[in-house]
Amino acid sequence: MVSYKRLNPEDVQFSSAVLSEELRPVHEEVPVPEPEEASLLPRRPSCSVTTGLLVIGCLLLLICGGWLLGTMFWLHRPSNQQPHRPPSPASAQTPDTQVKTGVNDTAAASRRETCSLIPEAWRFDCYPERGVVVTQELCEARNCCFIPASSPSSSATRPSDRNGIPWCFYPQDFPSYSLVSINDTSLGQKGTLVREVKTYYPADILTLEVEVRHETDTRLRVRLTDPSNSRFEVPISVPAATKKAESPEYIVEFSKQPFGLIVKRSSTGAVLLNTTVAPLFYADQFLQLSTSLQSQFIYGLGEHRSTFLHDVHWNTLTMWARDVPPMEQTNLYGAHPFYLAMDDGGNAHGFFLLNSNAMDVILQPAPALTWRTIGGILDFYVFLGPDPASVIAQYVEVIGYPTMPIYWALGYHLCRWGYNTSNATWEVVKSLRDSGIPQDVQWNDIDYMDQFLDFTFDSKKFGTLPDLVKDLHAHDQRYVMILDPGISSSQVAGSYWPYDDGLKRDVFIKDAEGRTLIGKVWPGLTAYPDFSDDVTHEWWYDNLQRFHEKVPFDGLWIDMNEPSNFLDGSTNGCPSNSLENPPYTPGILGGLLRAKTVCATAQQKQSVHYNMHSLYGLMEAKASASALKRIVAKRPFVISRSTFPSQGMYSGHWLGDNRSQWRDLYTSIAGILTFNLLGIPLVGADICGFSEEPQEELCVRWTQLGAFYPFTRNHNAIDMKPQHPTAFSPLARTAMKQALLLRYSLFPVLYTLFHHAHVHGHTVARPIMFEFPKDVKTFGLDKQFLWGRSLLVTPVLEPEVDYVDGYFPAGLWYDYYTGDSLHSEGEDLRLHAPLDKINLHLREGSVTPTQAPNLTLWVSSGQPLHLVSALSDEGAASGDLFWDDGESIDTYENNLYSYILFNVAQNVMTSQVLHSNVEATYITVETASFYGVKQKPSRVLVNSQDATFTYRANQVLTVADLGLNLSQNFTISWM
């Protein structure tokens, strides 16, 4: 057990000897052991002249040695880097724990003294393996420094985080690579790195090639590869630059000995990347790269349950797709090695490591970050922004823009595990209709299947399922079903076509010996389709097509696709080799790569599962979206549990099996904000919680918040009480209905935001800091968020309150419902929030198009528009609207859309049709409201004709009965 590492109990393994002799509480202070005397001679009196001369000599040697080390360090460092490296040892305070040295221990004493001068925040872990008690002997065998963390009183680190400080860490002279040559290329530079001294991990790659590509003015790519052997690379499509950036906003510098890369922002000189802070490792199964950070404000690095802003106080985030209910400090369903970082003056930058192997990302308070992965190559991007929204747009340009969702995807979805029959499912749908509660989509979980077999339905309990789907379609509603990747392998030969045909086509993942790998999931023993093979995609389509002929489903919910396995590995276990038991295993739940999934040695078409594991959900989503396009000939709707970068091109995501608890309500906001950063804007959490009994008040508040998830679904678990809106009291039912109707009225806003996500890489649910990057108070906000740039959502996240505290950045804000104005200087304000209300505010300078809501989006989207303009103090506002048929594929790419701009200035609103399509001719603008009209007008003109109007004391001007065609330009003016 590493005594400075806080681990889950299942990660800790001790031998009996360790337990009896060496185990101590993780919070206990461990003194630095004193070295044994090197000399066997009797001790001389401490006051002897000889001893005095020796002490003076040692001091001189220490001073000279320190000067020599400092000189070497200075000579090898890049220019102007001092503020971005660990603080100079000369300025650091020596810890209280001192080590006495004997006459012959001068070198060791000098080394220990040098080690002690490295501040705790800048100590990079030299012994990261888990399940090991790191002793001084083990540490120094790696030529590393060993110093137990100082007491809280002498440490700048918070006491609660003290156990994360490495006791074994790299000295500044730890051997690394040297840059022996560097040459210019058409895209940047290419150089050779050489390591003279092997590391303590096997299969060091001693010669590397580094290639720096100046791909665009705001995007830098760096690749570190083995020039002698090809290694696994992530098989996703990324842009191929053809020429070097002409005016890059970055400066790249190199440190030759030891090798390091420094990337600076040209405009400010801010250092965005500095890999000289710790040694580079590049062994076959251990690759490590560290960098300093500009600040402690780090976001992204999904998928983890945490606050939106990550904690940099010795925080390890592990990436390896895993089936586990969301919990803190463990790897979850997806892997996204991308971070967004705020740096000086409100600027932002991003970093993306294109690697799919199991990895740890370590954040430490220097601030600094370490990437530690066990395969592939080091292929990374730096995005210059400079604002947060630009960083995400640049990242999404690399991984792929998210798909434009079909219109009904943005409606209200209802599901549960445990309807038990199709008739029971049908009754719930009817109850919502009868209550006037909008619903676009009904789902079924695995209980619809016959013995949990994919592509089947229980003919007894769900015999009326085809009729249910027909009824949904007759009411302009849609049907989505769950599919798990595990295909039953234990049915009678010839009785289950998906497995029989899969064997014939050879579509299943194989074990290390080439046999079909068999695991266990809901139907019992199962085989796993290999979605890295195009043959499997065709087999998947055929199965979906055959089932669609029986049950004409509209979308797919792909679950358990990490892939999940109720066994560890397979029914035959897994081989004992370095793929299953690598020299270093990241901090994955269960401690083994095969924990609750298939063997790492399993064989797939493109590579071993060791490399492909976290890509499984992405590849299944790609196969599913492709099949749906062919089957329904419309935009595919797919929601996936496991995700990887570029997933947004094929599917949305829900945040997994959450709980019916207030904390889960709160953490869902961080989840949806993070996935919007990661290029998957169609994201939501299970409204009211998946497991545990739902509470009425919680469900009401969750429905209000869930109405502003980009993807809105209520879902709960088997044996739990129903939690659909009509299952609660009339008061709660009414509050939920109001929240959902509010969402439906805002469909034009949401649909337009998804258009901008699809075309420009924008976020939909947006962190407040994106719009106020110079306001540091917004950097940690994750109890509020924005839709786009102007609609501020402030939900209630606590029980038994009728108010909510929210932060309002400096500026003018308007209550969405009333138009009452609020001037803020950047302050927290308490808002009235009865049970039937979620607080919404409009930011000054915005035009928001809304519609009268109805029971489905098909009906709502045909209703007249109401335009709400929130004027700035200068009387200005702007907004836009994207409109098409809502379901055809690639309408933007094929110019089958309308796009309209709205502007208000000097008491005149104008609409400008920038692109026209027949769909817009069916929509009219019926009313317009203007918040912040400072004086009552004497006259209002619509297209130069007098119009009736109303003006309220809170400075709201409303013009009704307009009847304006959306596809034609118009003006509304007042005087």
Looking up residue 686, the CATH number of its domain turns out to be 3.20.20.80
Q: Is the pLDDT of residue 50 over 70?
A: no
pLDDT digits (tens, 9 = 90+) for 470-507: 999 999 999 999 999 999 999 999 999 999 999 999 99
Reduced to 3 states, what is the DSSP secondary structure of residue 731?
A: helix
Judge if 372 and 276 occupy the same domain.
yes
Q: Is the pLDDT of residue 89 over 70?
A: no
Judge if 169 and 192 occupy the same domain.
no
Question: CB of 955 within 8 A of CB of 932?
Answer: yes
**pLDDT of res. 105:** 67
CATH code at position 170 = 4.10.110.10
Judge if 456 and 604 occupy the same domain.
yes
Judge if 431 and 556 occupy the same domain.
yes
**pLDDT of res. 86:** 56
Q: Is the pLDDT of residue 638 over 60?
A: yes
Question: CB of 276 within 8 A of CB of 260?
Answer: yes
User: Phi and psi for 314 in degrees, rounded to 5?
Assistant: 55, 60
Length reported for the chain: 975
Judge if 395 and 268 occupy the same domain.
yes
Please state the pTM of the whole predicted model. Answer: 0.89
Reduced to 3 states, what is the DSSP secondary structure of residue 684?
A: strand
Judge if 691 and 600 occupy the same domain.
yes
Contacts of 45 (CB under 8 A, 6+ apart): 51
Judge if 272 and 298 occupy the same domain.
yes
Which sequence positions are flagged as catalytic? 559, 562
pLDDT digits (tens, 9 = 90+) for 585-627: 999 999 999 999 999 999 999 999 999 999 999 999 999 999 9
pLDDT tier for residue 106 given thresholds of 50, 70 and 90: confident
Judge if 309 and 427 occupy the same domain.
no
Q: Which of 851, 910, 914, 846 is nearest to 886 (CA)?
A: 851
Of 668, 703, 725, the residue that ends a domain is: 725
CATH code at position 874 = 2.60.40.1180
Residue with tokens 């901008």: 756
Q: Is the pLDDT of residue 74 over 50?
A: no
pLDDT tier for residue 85 given thresholds of 50, 70 and 90: low
- Count CB neighbours of 375 within 10 A: 22
76 found inside a domain: no
Which 8-state DSSP code applies to residue 819? -
Q: Is the pLDDT of residue 775 over 60?
A: yes
Q: Is the pLDDT of residue 98 over 80?
A: no
Distance CA 6, CA 371 (A): 19
24 found inside a domain: no
Mean pLDDT of the chain: 90
87 found inside a domain: no
- Residue 322: exposed, middle, or buried by beta-carbon count in 10 A (0-12, 13-18, 19+)? buried
> Quick one: tokens of 400?
């792929």
pLDDT digits (tens, 9 = 90+) for 174-232: 999 999 999 999 999 999 999 999 999 999 999 999 999 999 999 999 999 999 999 99
Strands (E), 604-735: 638-640, 652-654, 683-684, 686-687, 712-716
Contacts of 972 (CB under 8 A, 6+ apart): 908, 909, 928, 940, 941, 942, 947, 959, 962
702 found inside a domain: no
> Quick one: tokens of 638?
């797919």
CA angle 595, 597, 599 (to 5 degrees): 90
Judge if 427 and 357 occupy the same domain.
no
83 found inside a domain: no
823 found inside a domain: yes
408 found inside a domain: no
User: Phi and psi for 926 in degrees, rounded to 5?
Assistant: -95, -40
Q: Is the pLDDT of residue 925 over 80?
A: yes
Distance CA 881, CA 756 (A): 10
Q: Is the pLDDT of residue 433 over 80?
A: yes
pLDDT tier for residue 11 given thresholds of 50, 70 and 90: very low
CATH code at position 317 = 2.60.40.1760
pLDDT tier for residue 149 given thresholds of 50, 70 and 90: confident
Distance CA 496, CA 506 (A): 16
**Domain count within the chain:** 4
Question: CB of 425 within 8 A of CB of 442?
Answer: yes
pLDDT digits (tens, 9 = 90+) for 458-468: 999 999 999 99
845 found inside a domain: yes
Judge if 949 and 928 occupy the same domain.
yes
Judge if 911 and 955 occupy the same domain.
yes
pLDDT digits (tens, 9 = 90+) for 677-694: 999 999 999 999 999 999
Torsion angle, alpha carbons of 149, 154, 158, 163, to 10: 10
pLDDT digits (tens, 9 = 90+) for 910-921: 999 999 999 999
Of 355, 370, 399, the residue that ends a domain is: 399
Of 369, 399, 429, the residue that ends a domain is: 399
Give residue 357's domain range.
Answer: 178-399
Q: Which residues on adjacent β-strands are paired with residue 598?
A: 569
Judge if 545 and 565 occupy the same domain.
yes
**pLDDT of res. 103:** 43
Q: Is the pLDDT of residue 51 over 90?
A: no
pLDDT above 90 covers what percent of the chain? 86
